[in-house]
Chain A
Amino acid sequence: MNKIPSALSLGLRRGGLEIRQFARQRESVIFTLLFPVILLIIFGSVFKDTIAPGVVFSQYFLAGMVASGLVNTGFQALAITIPLERDFGALKRLRGTPMPASSYFIGKAILIIVSMSLQIIMLLAVGILFFKVEMPTDPHKWFTFAWLVLLGSACSTALGIAFSIVPKSGRGASAVVSPVVIVLQFFSGVFFIFTQLPSWMQQVAAIFPLKWLTQGMRSVFLPDSFGRQEVAKSWENNRTFAILVIWLIIGVFFSVRKFKWDRD
């Protein structure tokens, strides 16, 4: 008798399958991957103001788009597609096999990492080519970038899986999830300069991870001098790290404890 495959190896297999399925859904590829790039092109072309010495709005916006890309390809995509899979009965079928829940989650995380990487590469390429956004040269900034992407995508994946229990049906999922994401983007300083938002909006945004991801990305792509113009007069990267970790724990907890495989 052979042994049952390990949860990790099944997770990797599921990751491969998820990517293959995703790549075959042309609409979702275009919508989730290219949409932020299109937004960057539009906003970057319309708003060309210099918002601080040596900082144009497109730079500010690029940081915001990279951060909200983490939310779009992770949280939003999962919170919409998982209820659909549940409606189809695909999740219940998986539940009836020896594949453990952790493998399913690992597979989703792999899909998110891959699609997120593609999106970030496209955003940075557009930023460099069309808007002359300068890439940081300080390795320390790239280190910050790396942990922001990793922690941000983990957080986004976990929260997306956790939030997938909220929509009652697959059909209604996008109506429940999309407004949450869009409002959060407005509140978190993705489309506008955060410090110019009303303070109540800033305070609401400060509860959620997107504001911190966006601010963290600004610390990577904007000159250090700009940090003094943030709300706390600094980039607050330590606080960003702590808040993302807290949200990651919350997301994992609800994903593991509350995940629904079946409609009823």
Chain B
Amino acid sequence: MNAIEVTGLSKSYGQVKAVRGIDLSIATGEIFALLGPNGAGKTTTVEILEGFRSRDGGDVRVLGFDPSNDGSAAREWRNRIGIVLQSTSDSGDLTVIETIEHFSGYYSNPRKVEEVINSVGLDDKAGSLIRKLSGGQRRRLDVALGIIGNPELLFLDEPTTGFDPQARRAFWELIEKLRGDGTTILLTTHYLDEAEALADRVGVINDGVILALSTPSELGGRRTAQALVSWRDGSEIKTESTDNPTAVVNKLTTHFNGDIPELTIIRPSLEDIYLSMIGGVHE
């Protein structure tokens, strides 16, 4: 059974159609990244899946449960999912370990508190008050609270915004660990390199519809897209677009009889493909 099954999802706010018929299946154990500019319908979609918002039409099953339901069945369901929201802060008058310990009490089979603190790299800060943490450290606490319940499915809404590169790498390793445990993850992110590093599949959403669904390396025909080979020939920089960069390089090796001066081969990055899909408009 798929962890998430969505068919024909739609949602309007007044006259504005935020989501216009989305179909989406996410397999159990899969890491799926949802990409899209602000206002594309990304947050609305995810919040419907998380049970925070109602929908106007379509069918939604998350771990076999319709998130629009309430009551004790919803508690059982929430016991199996973890949510890391985009921006959360607290009054900050509790310590890291107090907060995580408290949240662990909400679930039937929580992870060990020390283990979670360690996996988000907050060991040194376990006894610190939340209000004394840096932005990145608070974000790691958010992630800790999202995974403390040992969820089968984890929602991560822009989890690494505000991280320095080192913290981002550490976070990626954490996600790899969760993947190893079989956790299904739905991730939204602004960082294309993050989607590429983590996701098994990506979906690009814009204007309330899914434009493309595929693996990061195949998105938008990226694998077969032409590569750009460039090199120096005398005083001139020459370029050639090609389906087969290896052949071009072979030809140039013969031509130069060895090293090709200033050789670069550029394949379209995920970002290039993404930008061309959403109309090239940076947010």
Chain A positions within 8 Å of B, measured between CB atoms, are 1-5, 10, 13, 17, 20-21, 24-25, 84-85, 88-90, 92-93, 95-100, 262
A209 to chain B, nearest CB (A): 29
B85-120 CB contacts (< 8 Å) to partner A: 85, 87-91, 93-94, 98, 102-103, 105-109
Name 29 interchain pairs, CB-CB below 8 A, sorted by A.
Answer: A1-B108, A1-B109, A4-B75, A4-B107, A4-B108, A5-B106, A10-B106, A17-B94, A17-B98, A17-B102, A20-B93, A20-B98, A25-B91, A84-B91, A85-B91, A88-B88, A88-B90, A90-B88, A90-B91, A93-B83, A96-B78, A97-B103, A98-B76, A98-B78, A98-B79, A98-B106, A98-B107, A98-B108, A98-B149
* Distance in angstroms between the alpha carbons of A25 and B105 in the assembled complex: 24
In the complex, the chain A residue whose C-beta lies closest to that of B79 is A98
> Which of these, B51, B91, B102, B109, contacts A2 with CB under 8 Å?
B109
Q: With A20-B98, A24-B93, A98-B78 as known contacts, state yes or no: A92 contacts B88, CB within 8 Å.
A: yes
* Distance in angstroms between the alpha carbons of A5 and B78 in the assembled complex: 13
* Distance in angstroms between the alpha carbons of A21 and B149 in the assembled complex: 23
Q: Which residues on the B side are within 8 Å of A13 (C-beta)?
A: 102, 105
* Distance in angstroms between the alpha carbons of A100 and B78 in the assembled complex: 10
B108 pairs with A10, CB closer than 8 A = no
Chain B positions within 8 Å of A, measured between CB atoms, are 50-52, 75-76, 78-79, 81, 83, 85, 87-91, 93-94, 98, 102-103, 105-109, 145, 149
Q: Which residues on the B side are within 8 Å of A21 (C-beta)?
A: 91, 93-94
A98 pairs with B75, CB closer than 8 A = yes
A88 pairs with B91, CB closer than 8 A = yes
* Distance in angstroms between the alpha carbons of A96 and B75 in the assembled complex: 10
Of all A-B residue pairs in the complex, the 10 with the closest CB atoms, nearest first, are: A89-B88, A96-B83, A24-B93, A98-B78, A98-B79, A2-B108, A99-B106, A98-B75, A97-B106, A4-B108
Q: With A2-B108, A96-B52 as known contacts, state yes or no: A20 contacts B94, CB within 8 Å.
A: yes
A3 pairs with B108, CB closer than 8 A = yes
B109 pairs with A90, CB closer than 8 A = no
* Distance in angstroms between the alpha carbons of A236 and B172 in the assembled complex: 68
Q: Which residues on the A side are within 8 Å of B90 (C-beta)?
A: 88, 90
Q: Which residues on the B side are within 8 Å of A95 (C-beta)?
A: 52
A93 pairs with B108, CB closer than 8 A = no
Q: Which residues on the A side are within 8 Å of B83 (C-beta)?
A: 93, 96
In the complex, the chain A residue whose C-beta lies closest to that of B75 is A98
* Distance in angstroms between the alpha carbons of A98 and B74 in the assembled complex: 8
Q: Which residues on the A side are within 8 Å of B51 (C-beta)?
A: 96
Q: Which residues on the A side are within 8 Å of B145 (C-beta)?
A: 93
B52 pairs with A92, CB closer than 8 A = yes
B91 pairs with A5, CB closer than 8 A = no
B105 pairs with A5, CB closer than 8 A = yes
B103 pairs with A89, CB closer than 8 A = no
> Which of these, B79, B93, B94, contacts A4 with CB under 8 Å?
B79
Q: Which residues on the A side are within 8 Å of B94 (C-beta)?
A: 17, 20-21, 24
